[in-house]
Amino acid sequence: MIKKVPYFNIHQIADSGQTFRWYPHEKGYIVVANHKAMTITQEGETIQITSLFGDSVDWPAYLGLDEDYEKIIDELTGKDDYLDKAIGFGRGIRILKQDPYEMVITFIISANNNIKRITSAVKLLSERYGTCLCEVDGVSYYDFPTPEELKNVTIEEYRACGLGYRDQYVYAFIQEIHKGLDVKKLKVLSDTALKDALLRLKGVGEKVANCILLFGYDRKEGFPIDTWIKKVLLAHYPVSEDKLKSFAECYFKPHGGIAQQYLFYYGRFHKN
DNA sequence: GTCCAGGCTCTTT
DNA sequence: AAAGAGCATGGA
């Protein structure tokens, strides 16, 4: 599958901190999502997708190809110089539409952690408990483990995947699922009701819940605040520490989540 | 050695 | 309600 897509850059997406399952391969990436695997490469505005496992009909939706980023960027541009620079720098970022269940576990792991260690933990979880989808150049790529595949995994085994003290939170989440929780069903809820439901899970606080809403449920108004974004906002916007989130969600509305991605990406590459 | 990372939970004021 | 301690772990 070959498509011409503006406002789309595979390297920026892979480095944007929203997914930990884009594995560098030759000039592009091998991507694992939704029980499928593909390679993706790009030259100019032309992207090429090659399915490695499963059909390819869902990849455009996963990649957000049907979203009008020209309009979104147009609506965010001109608010202030810093955001304009951030958008210019990361104009190829798109919010991927990822699986809610996978996002809950991934972002529980993300708390007080760094991207490298999160990537490593998700990879180990998948290799040890997920299903092998394909093999490329002698390297196997594994699906994210299902609730069934994690059903009998112990807290100690999670710890051995490098989850640290978050082991018990993932364990408890899997128990909840086997007691009847279905995160897919939560998508009918309003933003606030959905967030409240997620906040009941151990290891899910305000920031992690906002990430799950943004990356797993296509809710783009929330503005996740982590240590990076906090520094960015305090340094470049007229806001005090106790009003960060309400300020950001109002100021960037209705594109809080996307604005946050541009600022996060820009801020991490311009640490001073 | 200390500090930090896409913070959260639990306890104490 | 608000503030503080503690938390696994590897890299800088």
Over residues A176-192, the pLDDT tens digits come to: 999 999 999 999 999 99
A227 contacts: CB under 8 Å, gap ≥ 6: none
DSSP structural state of residue A95 = -
Structure tokens at A30: 């091998």
A117-CA/C9-C1' distance, Å = 8
> Residue A111, CA: closest nucleotide via C1'?
B7
Residues 35-64 of A with CB under 7 A from strand B: none
For residue A199, the surrounding DSSP H or E stretch is: helix A191-199
A122 touches strand B (CB under 7 A): no
Burial class of residue A272 in the structure, from the number of CB atoms within 10 Å of its CB (0-12 exposed, 13-18 middle, 19+ buried):
exposed
Task: Summarize pLDDT for A137-168 with one digit per residue, the tens.
Answer: 999 999 999 999 999 999 999 999 999 999 99
Cβ atoms within 10 Å, residue A22: 22
Structure tokens at A34: 């939704």
Task: Summarize pLDDT for A29-53 with one digit per residue, the tens.
Answer: 999 999 999 999 999 999 999 999 9
Residue nearest to nucleotide C9 (CA to C1'): A164
The structure's pTM equals 0.97
A43-CA/B8-C1' distance, Å = 42
Q: If you average pLDDT over every residue of chain A, what do you get?
A: 97
Task: Summarize pLDDT for A86-106 with one digit per residue, the tens.
Answer: 999 999 999 999 999 999 999
For residue A160, the surrounding DSSP H or E stretch is: helix A155-160
What confidence score (pLDDT) does residue A270 get? Answer: 84
Residue A83 has pLDDT above 70, yes or no: yes
